[in-house]
């Protein structure tokens, strides 16, 4: 990720519609995975500045890992109470079967060898445990946020399911999400491509907050998709959520 973007994340994660709506979806995915069990050990790989850790802590004993020292310091400064570990996502310093749930929220696209990272997640997840992964969807949606975030790829749903299965997991549920906003996002990114709009260094989709009324509306629209989790598979979206069980 572009070095200057971590400070923006700290300010945005609690209030920008994308983070607010996405958090509702990921919270529902965790609820379904935990199923009310006590003392569940949950690892978030690629925790960044720790915006999701308070949510994860409500579901179990949260642990967090990220390869960037600046991100981990910001997570600690904002009061993260989880155990924070600096490491490479492809070489995790945890014993086999250490965790009941392993989460990688918008992380795999940052890792050059995503298959190796998934194998490591399989190694540290206990048999019968759960993997929850979210990734950006469709190469055709490639835009400036992928550039500033140093992404290697975007995925189609069958691709992430195949990678998860190859890492030793049994896929149980996979869906696109951020479906409501898909037409608008696709139109904006296509327009930028057609007009050859220059991408200035460090430019981000989060450079400006929408007006409060619009930000609130978009957050509610995205969060509304949480109710479909586990019951329906959405046919397209800007992102993908995949849940799998450790064989």
Q: What is the pLDDT of residues 106-150, one digit of tens each?
A: 999 999 999 999 999 999 999 999 999 999 999 999 988 898 888
pLDDT at 12 over 90: no
Residue 221, φ and ψ in degrees, nearest 5: -60, -50
- Total structural domains within the chain: 1
pLDDT (average), residues 73-80: 86
Instruction: Give the confidence band of 80 by pLDDT, cuts at 50, 70, 90.
Output: confident
pLDDT at 184 over 90: yes
Dist. CA 205–CA 25, nearest whole Å: 20
| pLDDT over 70, % of the chain | 94
Dist. CA 101–CA 125, nearest whole Å: 7
Instruction: Give the confidence band of 223 by pLDDT, cuts at 50, 70, 90.
Output: very high
pLDDT at 170 over 70: yes
236 contacts 176 by C-beta, under 8 angstroms: yes
Distances (CA, A) of 102 to 97, 117, 169, 213, 215: 10, 12, 12, 35, 30
Q: What is the CATH number of the domain that holds 168?
A: 3.40.50.150
pLDDT at 6 over 80: no
- Host domain of residue 137: 5-246
pLDDT (average), residues 191-201: 65
pLDDT at 11 over 70: yes
DSSP H or E stretch at residue 125: strand 125-136
């Amino acid at each position: 990720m572009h070095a200057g973007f971590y400070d923006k994340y700290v300010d945005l994660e609690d209030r920008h519609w994308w983070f607010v709506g996405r958090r509702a979806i990921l919270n529902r995915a965790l609820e379904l995975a935990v199923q009310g069990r006590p003392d569940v050990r949950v690892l978030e790989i690629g925790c960044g500045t720790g915006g999701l850790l308070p949510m994860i802590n409500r579901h179990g004993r949260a642990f967090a890992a990220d390869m960037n020292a600046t991100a981990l310091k910001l997570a600690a400064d904002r009061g993260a109470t989880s155990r924070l570990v600096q490491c490479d996502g492809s070489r995790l310093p945890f014993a086999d079967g250490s965790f009941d749930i392993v989460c990688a929220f918008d992380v795999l696209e940052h890792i050059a060898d995503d298959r190796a990272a998934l194998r490591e997640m399989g190694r540290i997840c206990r048999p019968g445990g759960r993997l929850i992964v979210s990734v950006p969807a469709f190469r055709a949606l490639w835009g400036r946020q992928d550039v500033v975030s140093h992404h290697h790829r975007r995925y189609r749903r069958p691709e992430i399911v195949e990678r998860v299965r190859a890492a030793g997991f049994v896929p149980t549920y996979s869906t696109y999400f951020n479906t409501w906003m898909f037409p608008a996002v696709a139109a904006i990114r296509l327009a930028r491509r057609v007009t050859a709009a220059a991408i200035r260094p460090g430019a981000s989709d989060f450079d400006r907050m929408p007006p409060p009324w619009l930000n609130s509306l978009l957050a509610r629209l995205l969060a509304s998709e949480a109710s479909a989790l586990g019951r329906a598979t959405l046919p397209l979206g800007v992102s993908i959520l995949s849940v799998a069980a450790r064989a």
